[in-house]
Amino acid sequence: MSHREVTLIDGCRASVGDVVITRQNDRRIRTTSGGWVKNGDRWLITDIRREGSVVVKRLGARGRRTVLPPEYVAEHVDLGYAVTAHRAQGVTVDTAHVVVTTSTTRENLYVSMTRGRESNIAYVALDQPDAATPRPRRMT
């Protein structure tokens, strides 16, 4: 069993079983179905070769596999566990965790809160503590 890792664009490391996301279109990198690598595609790493190329399977697409060259991985691949609501459209996951702020639109909230099969959890950021929060005598 291989315990190889690759370093991604932001310095994070990934290994077999990790979910990654490609961040640049590249029509030269073809999939087994004849498609190509697109910005925003999510992949499961199935192997890491000795020279640093990464064998991946596109999530949600049966049989679509490809090999990402080491240079592409280092410059255009991120971990794919956390995505924005825009990027999450059309994605289904087991559990979705959503941070809701005053700038969250209802459209983005809807998209975010309908991604999870098992559960959808919202974490609401408050500008002010609620009434149940103990307050010190002097606020700084």
Based on the domain organization, do 138 and 95 belong to the same domain?
yes
Domain count, the chain: 2
**According to the model, what pLDDT value does residue 62 have?**
73
Q: Mind listing the pLDDT tens digit for each residue in 93-113?
A: 888 899 998 888 999 899 889
Return the structure tokens found at 82: 């956390």
**CATH code for the domain in which residue 42 is found:** 2.30.30
Rg (CA), the chain: 19
With a cut of 90, say whether residue 50 has pLDDT above it: yes
CA 23-110-129 angle, to 5 degrees, is: 100
Distance of CA 17 to the CA centre of its chain: 13
Alpha helices, H only, 13-131: 70-76, 85-88, 106-112
CB count within 10 Å of CB 35 equals 15
The Cα–Cα gap between 17 and 2 comes to: 11
How large a percentage of the chain has pLDDT more than 90?
50
Average pLDDT, the chain: 87
Answer with the one of 30, 50, 79 that is the final residue of a domain: 79
End of a domain among 32, 47, 79? 79
45's tokens: 């790493």
Range of the domain at 26: 5-79
Q: Same structural domain for residues 105 and 75? A: no
Q: Are strands 26-30 and 19-22 parallel, antiparallel or unpaired?
A: unpaired
- Say whether both 65 and 91 belong to one domain: no
pLDDT classification of 17: cutoffs 50, 70, 90: very high
- Closest by alpha carbon to 73, among 17, 128, 10, 137? 10
**CA dihedral over 110, 115, 121, 127, signed as positive or negative:** negative
Confidence band (pLDDT; 50, 70, 90) for 54? Answer: very high
pLDDT tens-digit series, residues 18-30? 999 999 999 999 9
Domain co-membership, 74 together with 94 = no
Average pLDDT over residues 76-99: 80
In terms of Cβ atoms closer than 10 Å to its own Cβ (0-12, 13-18, 19+), residue 112 is buried
* Model confidence, pTM: 0.71
Q: What is the pLDDT of residue 31?
A: 93
Residues 48 and 89 in one domain: no
